[in-house]
A and B are shown apart, each in its own frame.
Chain A
Amino acid sequence: MELLKAFILGGFICLIGQLLMDLTPFNVTPGHILVGYVTCGAILSGLGLYQPLIDWGGAGAAIPLSGFGHSLAQGAIEGAKTKGLLGVIGGGLEATAVGIATAIGLGLVVASLFKPKG
């Protein structure tokens, strides 16, 4: 049941992205989608609307990049609670540091190991 919920919610969040790319008159690139999802996720999270999605769909809401925005926002809020203004500034990146560092580190490793095939 948990898996099915994750599938449905995750699929639905991606489906919205596809509609944005196909049906809007602007040229929506992957860059726009990624930035848009992170920003929207963070804003929804700030309004307290994203946690319910995670509670319902688990990874279905956490794995899409809006979940990344959620982590950023919750990190900043958490930081505000515990460390005051310094926490506000650093909290978001602290909460997502592992993910970002993994991606950057692996980016470097994979780039040195592989060659693009085209």
Chain B
Amino acid sequence: MAQKKLGKQTFKFSSNPIISSEAAVVGPMEGKGPLGEKYDMVLDNTFAGENTWEKAEQKMMQYSMELALEKKGFLPSDLDIYLAGDLLNQIISANFTARFLNTPFLGLYGACSTLIEGLCVAGILLDGGFVDRIGVSASSHHNTAERQYRYPTEQGTQRPMTAQWTVTGSGSFVVENSGSGVILTHATIGKINDMGISNANDMGSAMAPAAFDTIKAHLQDTGRKPDDYDLIVTGDLGLLGSNVLKEMMRREKISVDNITDCGTLVYSSNQDSHSGGSGCGCSAIVLSSHFMGKLLAGEYKKIFFVGTGALLSPITSFQGESIPSIAHGIVLEYMGGRQ
């Protein structure tokens, strides 16, 4: 019998894997957002000194991992394994970053849930006693996503109000099996949900049921209530998705008082993002800067962080398929120590 499994979908870590370091590198628009001060590095422009946006995204991911390592005085060679993913076809940003880091590497794809998928896998590997130190990264770039999923960037199109703005940014984490700081206690692995939403400009509505499903499964598996957490944070549902999630929770009489969403925090309302931020980078940069900061300052003790991903592709969109979505959750707890 599995000893670390609770209920159907939740793993309980017994060794408490610890996030020992983290860093975020973001684009200029994110730097001007409400959390602008908190990021480790804000790029002057979206090209990061490269000649393509794809290279710029890869550099952001590499820089964020290097910064996270440097804070603890590590080198990539100190990592036992590197877990990373992004939104581009064949997860090129992650693969090309791993080429530079020269560590054992597992590429991940969970669309915008990739970071949390990475932290879940990191927790499992550490708790299983396979490794001592793991690097986890996730990135997205507004312009690489636009040209892959939507229109050429210079085409004069109007984004609907339900659309979200893909975050340009990358967040990286070093997770270890000893130390002090913020520990991972539980991981809840999500199931694919598909409520028939096929509008690629409304990913919040597509993802909300997945987030709801994972939150419900987590509460059921652990026997906890939403109030047991200081916050339940979702990755990138945006304004609309977040409202839909709250509505779904209200209907099942689950308290919604402490629910928030990274997509609604990353931009201010005058930044014309419409329904908020999205993309792998969204939860990655907001967790590594804003929420890790609040946890380490002791402001929050316990957070349930749910990464949400819309698993669409331009091909399935053209074929009229609906959008399958997924959400993974991880419990972050502050244990004292590391400032």
Contact in complex: B154, A27 (CB < 8 Å): no
**Other-chain contact of B153, A21, A29, A117 (Cβ < 8 Å):** A117
**Residues of B close to A117: CB separation below 8 A:** 153-154
The interface on chain B, measured as residues whose beta carbon lies within 8 A of the other chain's beta carbons, has a size of 16
Q: Is the CB of B199 within 8 A of A27?
A: yes
Residues 143-190 of B at the A interface (beta carbon under 8 Å): 143, 146, 151-158
Cβ B53 vs Cβ A21 within 8 A:
no
Asked if A116 contacts B151 (CB within 8 A), the reply is no
Q: Decide if B201 touches A118 in the complex (CB within 8 Å).
A: no
**B199 contacts which chain A residues (CB < 8 A)?**
27
Do A118 and B153 touch (CB < 8 A)? Answer: yes
- Minimum CB–CB distance from A46 to chain B (whole Å) comes to 30
**A116 lies within 8 A of B153 (CB):** yes
* Chain B interface mostly: loop
Could you say which of B152, B153, B200 contacts A27, with CB atoms under 8 Å apart? B200
Q: Give chain A's interface residue range (CB within 8 Å of chain B).
A: under 10
Q: A116-B153, A117-B153, A118-B46 are in contact. Are A27 and B201 (CB under 8 A)?
A: yes
Query: Of all chain B residues, which has the CB nearest A21?
Result: B158
CB distance B153 to A30 under 8 Å?
no
B154 partner residues in chain A, CB cutoff 8 A: 116-117
**Chain B: minimal CB distance from A105 (Å):** 18
Bound complex: CA A116 to CA B199 (Å): 26
Residue on B with the closest CB to A114? B154
Contacts A118-B53, A118-B143 known; A30 to B152 CB distance under 8 Å? no
Contact status of A116 and B142, CB under 8 A, knowing A27-B199, A27-B200, A30-B157:
no
B window 91-141: CB within 8 A of A: none
Give Cα A27 to B317, complex, Å.
Answer: 11
**Complexed CA–CA distance, A1 and B157 (Å):** 31
A118 to B57, CA, bound (A): 14
State in angstroms the CA–CA spacing of A27 and B321 once bound together.
13
Taking the nearest CB of chain A, how far is it from the CB of B326, in angstroms? 23
| Docked-complex contact B155 and A30, CB < 8 angstroms | yes
CA distance in complex: A117, B151 (Å)? 14
Q: B-side interface residues toward A, CB under 8 Å?
A: 46, 53, 142-143, 146, 151-158, 199-201
Q: List 5 A-B contacts (CB under 8 A).
A: A21-B158, A27-B199, A27-B201, A116-B154, A118-B143
Q: A30-B157, A116-B143, A117-B153 are in contact. List 19 more A-B contacts (CB 8 A).
A: A21-B158, A27-B199, A27-B200, A27-B201, A29-B151, A29-B157, A30-B151, A30-B155, A30-B156, A116-B152, A116-B153, A116-B154, A117-B154, A118-B46, A118-B53, A118-B142, A118-B143, A118-B146, A118-B153
